Structure 1
Amino acid sequence: MPDRRTLLTSGLVGAGALGLGLSSDSGGAVMPPQPVPLAKQTNVSVETVHSQARNREVDLVTMYPSGVPRAGLPVCLLLHGRFGDARRSSGGVPAWLSSSVKAGKVPPFAILAVDGGGNSYWHQRSGDDPMWMLLDEVPRWLGERGLGGRDGQPFAVAGISMGGFGALLYTRRRNELDSPVNATAVVSPALITSWPEMARRRAFLDEAEWSAIDPMRHIAALEDVPLGVWCGTRDRFISGTRKFVRKAKPEVASVKTPGGHNSRYYRFALPEVVDFIGGYAPDTADHG
């Protein structure tokens, strides 16, 4: 994959730089097929485990590329949006993953979605800490299932809406632990630019708590992790996303394609996210 400096100096920053190119959510584009229910897909595992960090049972949805050995596969986290969950965030992803691997676009890897709470923004709240779950429990769960290599650590993270906020926060925390991810991708990230707007969501105790973890205020903490950003022009978070793109200068920045904050746009973006993340997947020979 080209590095960030190469793309910036060549003026190729954007979805087209890596052959991704979201075309449109309307005229001329071919809509990906509707997702097949998870229960009918043999390359999907759905489990319920107890999370000490969250003080409750959570669903783990593990998606594999079809037709390849699963042992030792590297894993990318997929963080769901506000009022979502692991099951609902996974529609279509197993098929797109299998298709890209079969076509030789990306090496085999798995994608794990896990319940993070309906309005958590993936940070600690009273008696519920989804970020602790991601950092401490998920590697153990993956290791117990023979995934993620010797340490069970996910190699990448992706997120949708609130999950995009969480993915950027997770990237920062992994850097702080001297265990950076290989890549981060966000779709329609909930990058809100004012406290009054965020306060209406009742996700933070006060402005100081929000400011301490707001990805927009801590872009430098992302360091050199390769970033991919997708957001439709009619998305309610497009203003914040464009501001983030100007400051973070991601490898891929698709912010000029028509689309709203909805599943129709996500079905265009997520196949490209799979290809972007797959470009940074470790060789499976090093895992297992």
Structure 2
Amino acid sequence: MPHRRLIGAPLPRRTLLTSGVAGLAAVGLGLSTDSAGHPVEQRVSLAKNVSVERLYSQAREQNVDVVAIRPRDVPAEGLPVCLMLHGRFGDAMDSVSGLPVWLSNSVAAGRVPPFMLLAVDGGPNNYWHRRSDDDAMSMLLDEVPQWLNERGLSAPVAAAGISMGGFGALVYARRRRELGDPLQAAGAIAPALHTNWREMRKRRAFTNEAEWKAIDPLRHIDSLGDLPIGVWCGNGDRFIEGTRRFIRLARPTYASTTPGRHNKTYFRKALPNLVDFIGDHLHT
């Protein structure tokens, strides 16, 4: 299926926030244009409870897609927001596959209260941390709340992710607690937790071992406090050793290491459970 392409040069952040369609404020319209009014080529058909807006991130120095997913037939206003962070070489649009249905089904069945999932492009291989010219974590901490507030929506109260996104969700949870604004819940599917620098170095995501150790969730378990955390990982996954170490040290609220590998088959089995876990731990 075709990928999106960015049409035109990046616009100033304020222009993107105020021009064209309302984007996140109109969640449910199935938007197929960017916020400057240009057509955006999509690789999936958007459901009515999904919207996409393209904004300029000063922290990342580039345009990013912001994808909002809400339960079917539920207004966006007042919904608590959970970040959904994509994996390595992924993007925000990855979240459109499956999640709109699973979130809607869980809410319709009464398993969880309504909430919104928000995905944003974080870069293909930055592990959601600050790099010299691309600061995805500052985007999450500083810009995303501004974008949401300007659309009448609340700042994120939870975070989740797959693989590199699971790593990022744990780092984000730590940063929020350090800032005195802790999350209500976090979830990680097959988090990309390497147990040694030799393996992590192959990813070319960190400048050196010291930088990685300063960020690695396995080395900062106490910084998560008593946050409710759910963790899922297939027992044939390449990150199972790091995940088991995290489970042993962090003693998360929920942990599952059932048969599976690091692939979409396992992720699609785990994601509905992650949706229910997050929803079950939100304060409404």
Do both proteins adopt the same fold according to a TM-score greater than 0.5, normalized to the shorter chain? Answer: yes
Instruction: Say if 2:78 is the partner of 1:72.
Output: yes
Structure 1 residue 90: Cα displacement: 3.2
Tell me the equivalent position of 2:205. Answer: 203
> 2:82·2:116 contact (CA, 8 Å) conserved in 1?
yes
- Gap runs ≥5 in structure 1: 1-36, 284-288
Tell me the equivalent position of 1:30. Answer: none
Q: 1:134 aligns with which of 125, 129, 140?
A: 140
Instruction: Say if 2:238 is the partner of 1:236.
Output: yes
Per-residue Cα deviation, 1:197-236 (whole angstroms, up to 9, x for no partner): 0001110110000000000000000011111000001100
Residue 275 of structure 2 aligns to a residue in which SS?
helix
> 1:38·1:44 contact (CA, 8 Å) conserved in 2?
no
Q: Which runs of 4+ in 1 moved over 3 A?
A: none
Tell me the equivalent position of 1:260. Answer: 261
CA distance in 2, matches of 1:95, 1:282: 22
Tell me the equivalent position of 1:269. Answer: 270
Tell me the equivalent position of 2:217. Answer: 215
Residue 104 of structure 2 aligns to a residue in which SS?
helix
> 1:164·1:190 contact (CA, 8 Å) conserved in 2?
yes
**What does 1:1-288 align with in structure 2 at a 5 Å threshold?**
38-148=44-154, 153-255=155-257, 257-283=258-284
Per-residue Cα deviation, 1:152-189 (whole angstroms, up to 9, x for no partner): x2010001000111000000000000000000000000
Residue 40 of structure 1 aligns to a residue in which SS?
coil
Per-residue Cα deviation, 1:30-67 (whole angstroms, up to 9, x for no partner): xxxxxxx7533000001100000000000001001001
CA distance in 2, matches of 1:253, 1:277: 13
Q: Which moved more, 1:83-92 or 1:214-223?
A: 83-92
Asked which structure has the greater RCO (Cα within 8 Å, sep 6+), the reply is 1
Question: Normalising by structure 1, what TM-score?
Answer: 0.83
> 1:90·1:113 contact (CA, 8 Å) conserved in 2?
no
> 1:183·1:280 contact (CA, 8 Å) conserved in 2?
yes
Residue 89 of structure 1 aligns to a residue in which SS?
helix
Residue 90 of structure 2 aligns to a residue in which SS?
coil
Which amino acid counterpart does residue 126 of structure 1 have in structure 2?
S
CA distance in 2, matches of 1:282, 1:49: 29
> 2:50·2:96 contact (CA, 8 Å) conserved in 1?
no
Residue 166 of structure 1 aligns to a residue in which SS?
helix
Which amino acid counterpart does residue 104 of structure 1 have in structure 2?
G
Per-residue Cα deviation, 1:236-273 (whole angstroms, up to 9, x for no partner): 00011001100000010001x11110110010100000
CA distance in 2, matches of 1:98, 1:133: 28
CA distance in 2, matches of 1:124, 1:89: 23
CA distance in 2, matches of 1:134, 1:103: 31
- Gap runs ≥5 in structure 2: 1-42
> 2:107·2:113 contact (CA, 8 Å) conserved in 1?
yes
Per-residue Cα deviation, 1:80-127 (whole angstroms, up to 9, x for no partner): 000000002331001000000001111110000000000000001111
Which amino acid counterpart does residue 128 of structure 1 have in structure 2?
D
Identity of aligned residues (%): 62
Which amino acid counterpart does residue 237 of structure 2 have in structure 1?
D
Structure 1 residue 282: Cα displacement: 2.8
Tell me the equivalent position of 2:19. Answer: none
